[in-house]
Amino acid sequence: MGESVGHNGPMATSRKLIALSSALTAGVVALSLAACADTRPSAEEAARTLAAGLAARDVSESAFTSASAADVTAELAAITKALEPLAPAVTVSAVEETTDDAATATLDFRWDLDESDADWTYSTAAQLLRVEDQWQVTWEPSIVVDGLANGEVLASAVVDAERAEILGADGDVLVTARPVLQVGLDKTRLETDELDAAARDMAALVDIDADQYADQVAGAGVDAFVVAIVLREDGSRTITDEQINAIAGGLATPGTLELGPTRTFARELLGRVGEPTAETIAASDGELLAGQTTGLSGLQLQYNDLLDGTPGLTINAVTGPNTGTESDTAGGVARELFSREPVDGKPLATTLSVQLQSLAEEVLAGEPSAAAIVAIRPSSGAILAAANGPGSDGLQTALLGQYPPGSTFKVATSLALIRQGFTPETSTDCAVEVTVDGRRFNNASTYPAQFIGKIPLLQTFAQSCNTGFIAAREKISQQELAAAAADLGIGVETPIGLPAYFGSVPAQADGTAHAAAMIGQGQVLVSPLALATMAASVGAGERVAPSLLADSVPGSAIVGAAPEPGNLTAEEAATLRELMGAVVAEGGANLLADVPGEPVLAKTGTAEFGSDDPPRTHAWIIALQGDLAVAVFVEEGELGSTSGGPLMEAFLRGAAS
């Protein structure tokens, strides 16, 4: 018999050895496979690195098959120079490995060219090769823009939208494209040693600073046309073509510019249009480009997006002698890659009256110091005129000036007294002088002696008795005085369509500060707009919220919400109108008594300022006539009645004609 072997015998041992051998073999194979695993960078990683470099205009982290990364970065910068400072967003949408050592990456580009929704989007393909365990890019300009050939670069050109007009009351055109003549020097027609003399001759002709213009000419490019002045082509220019041509290099080029009806018409308010400065372009985050026209100040700047519309844009691939700008593509070949049609701007409708604004500027034309006239329609709050005199020297005195109102503020003081039970008949103590905490307060040197003593509030107001109002200071707190002023619009921020100052009345003041505030001095400040608003509120019987924009303009959402209505009542306003009527009938504004039309109500004011002895004075006068409220201000005046009064009379008579 054969030998009998159990489970633990030689056969079992043999099976264990075979299993162990199999396990060892499998382990060795697994270790061998792990050792052979591909740890080299993937094509996807190389594509993502390329995309990031293209977006940053710096591909130094990528490798290329036939060029250095530095050379590719330089070529990339040249191709995209015209679109700086814009940069594309670049993402990898797909990577397809065609062989073990070749792949194609699909790159998606998106250029956010401006604030519009019309982005420039496209896809390109990049070929990748694995060379010595490194994925390298086969560089072609078509990686930047599909189909872009060697020697081509991008060129951009802005297509201006039609800038919209600024309109006045009743749809009158205030600002529109008007013919102009740009006068200056053409440097291509001058030798270097001729520049300074020619610049000074031109400056003398057009009456500008010779040193500044000579420096401007010297610093401009060799092919530049350096504009000295822009003249209206409306028959008003006195500089002739012959005079311009007589200057070496002198040149006049016709064009159009967004202008008002005259050189001075609401100039500070309407603002200017022109080419942006280099600083403005840099601060616009790509929104503005050189050669583009844009609002530079006033309403033109505040509502530039509405007026300007959306410029069109074309992007071309260009070959030839160029630097990527529209003006340098002459002699080259251009292919259009992207275009967007311009969207014309929308008109800005304002409340300005051409007649009253022109009249106000005419009335102020002879005033040498800073001056302003503001006219408001009480029934609607529409600002009909906001004029600055030539003495304001380009500053917006009418809307932004900050000055003590003097006795015109007694309208607010009287309102506070009325709320404490005063009537026009209430007796007040009008002394020659009143002393508060050691400070003496007097009346104007021209104050009529017959109104010294106990006189009714009507005469205290009509004769503008400082001491009478100061004597009543304990009847009302400073907080009550500030509240009364606010109910007339003083110190109440109101969006009118442009930055404006509505004044400031401290809510807390004691002693001499409270006494001074009673007569519009001390820390009380207003603008001409603020006092016109006060007068309009008296006329309307409620606090008026003035506005420079017509109801059809979507400006309220842009400049903020109007304040809540104040607490002025119709009865209080009627009493204030009675007091203002007495100023014309019996007080310092008697020169307005025979102005044609409805009866004129007024209040004069003189405010001291500075440290001179005697002090210098601002002159004020406000008036109401029917549905017209007006404030007149003269910075270096005498009395409100003598400096402001004649200007107010001229304005009201002109408005009535």
Q: What is the CATH number of the domain that holds 625?
A: 3.40.710.10
Model confidence band, residue 85 (pLDDT cutoffs 50, 70, 90): confident
Per-residue pLDDT, 22: 43
Q: Is 109 helix (H, G, I), strand (E, B) or coil?
A: strand
Q: Tell me the whole-structure pTM to 2 decimals.
A: 0.77
CATH code of the domain covering residue 80: 3.10.450.50
Per-residue pLDDT, 113: 84
Per-residue pLDDT, 552: 55
CA–centroid distance for 507 within its chain: 32
d(CA 412, CA 458): 14
Cα distances from 558 to residues 255, 393, 400, in angstroms, run: 32, 29, 19
- 326 neighbors 353 (Cβ within 8 angstroms): no
302 lies in some domain? no
- 72 neighbors 81 (Cβ within 8 angstroms): no
DSSP 8-state assignment for residue 547: B
d(CA 465, CA 450): 12
Q: Which residue has the higher pLDDT, 185 or 86?
A: 185
pLDDT of 53 strictly over 80: yes
What is the domain range of residue 519?
354-656
221 lies in some domain? yes
Q: Which residue among 234, 257, 280 closes a domain?
A: 257
Asked whether residue 247 falls in the same domain as residue 391, the answer is no
Work out the average pLDDT over 545-557: 69
Model confidence band, residue 608 (pLDDT cutoffs 50, 70, 90): confident
Asked whether residue 525 falls in the same domain as residue 408, the answer is yes
Cα distances from 214 to residues 192, 199, 201, 228, 644, in angstroms, run: 12, 5, 10, 10, 43
CA–centroid distance for 163 within its chain: 17
Work out the average pLDDT over 452-470: 97
Q: Which residue among 242, 257, 272 closes a domain?
A: 257
- Lowest model confidence (mean pLDDT) among 28-42, 191-205, 295-309, 568-582: 28-42
The length of the chain is: 657
Per-residue pLDDT, 286: 62
Q: Is 181 helix (H, G, I), strand (E, B) or coil?
A: strand
227 lies in some domain? yes
pLDDT digits (tens, 9 = 90+) for 131-168: 988 999 999 999 999 999 999 999 988 887 899 999 99
- Lowest model confidence (mean pLDDT) among 10-14, 109-113, 139-143, 527-531: 10-14
Asked whether residue 125 falls in the same domain as residue 205, the answer is no
d(CA 12, CA 32): 30
Asked whether residue 621 falls in the same domain as residue 524, the answer is yes
Residue 345 phi/psi, 5-degree rounding, is -70, 170
Which residue, among 510, 566, 507, has the nearest Cα to 534 in the 3D structure? 566
162 lies in some domain? no
Asked whether residue 359 falls in the same domain as residue 446, the answer is yes
- 75 neighbors 141 (Cβ within 8 angstroms): yes
Asked whether residue 192 falls in the same domain as residue 147, the answer is no
Per-residue pLDDT, 159: 84
Model confidence band, residue 3 (pLDDT cutoffs 50, 70, 90): very low
H/E stretch holding 430:
strand 427-430
Q: Which residue has the higher pLDDT, 14 or 174?
A: 174
Work out the average pLDDT over 158-183: 91
pLDDT digits (tens, 9 = 90+) for 563-586: 888 999 999 999 999 999 999 999
The token pair that represents 184 in the structure block: 């200056």
Asked whether residue 186 falls in the same domain as residue 73, the answer is no
Per-residue pLDDT, 158: 80
d(CA 553, CA 310): 18
Per-residue pLDDT, 278: 73
Asked whether residue 539 falls in the same domain as residue 628, the answer is yes
Q: Which residue has the higher pLDDT, 31 or 341?
A: 341
Q: How many CB atoms lie within 10 A of CB 529?
A: 30
Q: Which residue has the higher pLDDT, 255 or 478?
A: 478
31 lies in some domain? no
558 lies in some domain? yes
176 lies in some domain? no
Per-residue pLDDT, 553: 54
Work out the average pLDDT over 67-91: 94
Asked whether residue 248 falls in the same domain as residue 110, the answer is no
- 363 neighbors 647 (Cβ within 8 angstroms): yes
pLDDT digits (tens, 9 = 90+) for 368-425: 999 999 999 999 999 999 999 999 999 999 999 999 999 999 999 999 999 999 999 9
Asked whether residue 194 falls in the same domain as residue 142, the answer is no
Tally of structural domains, the chain: 3
Per-residue pLDDT, 359: 97
Cα distances from 38 to residues 32, 42, 97, in angstroms, run: 12, 9, 15
Per-residue pLDDT, 447: 93
pLDDT digits (tens, 9 = 90+) for 7-22: 444 434 444 434 434 4
pLDDT digits (tens, 9 = 90+) for 304-354: 989 988 888 899 999 855 444 444 444 457 889 999 999 999 999 999 999
Q: Which residue among 231, 257, 283 closes a domain?
A: 257
d(CA 623, CA 595): 12
d(CA 64, CA 67): 6
**Across the chain, what does the average pLDDT equal?**
89
Asked whether residue 464 falls in the same domain as residue 579, the answer is yes
Q: What is the dihedral of CA 34, 40, 43, 48, to 10 degrees?
A: 120
- 224 neighbors 216 (Cβ within 8 angstroms): no
pLDDT digits (tens, 9 = 90+) for 200-250: 999 999 999 999 999 999 998 888 999 999 899 988 889 999 999 999 999
196 lies in some domain? yes
Model confidence band, residue 32 (pLDDT cutoffs 50, 70, 90): very low
Angle between helices 528-540 and 410-418 in degrees, nearest 10: 40
| Cβ neighbours for 383, distance < 8 A, ≥ 6 positions apart | 351, 352, 374, 375, 376, 496, 529, 532, 546, 547, 548
Per-residue pLDDT, 613: 78
Q: Positive or negative CA dihedral for 565, 568, 571, 574? A: negative
d(CA 612, CA 635): 15
Q: How many CB atoms lie within 10 A of CB 599?
A: 14
CA–centroid distance for 117 within its chain: 23
The token pair that represents 148 in the structure block: 């872009």
Model confidence band, residue 546 (pLDDT cutoffs 50, 70, 90): very high
d(CA 135, CA 47): 9
Work out the average pLDDT over 471-486: 97
| Cβ neighbours for 475, distance < 8 A, ≥ 6 positions apart | 417, 420, 422
Asked whether residue 374 falls in the same domain as residue 514, the answer is yes
d(CA 86, CA 57): 10
- Lowest model confidence (mean pLDDT) among 38-52, 179-193, 546-560: 546-560
Q: Which residue has the higher pLDDT, 497 or 487?
A: 487
The token pair that represents 421 in the structure block: 């039970």
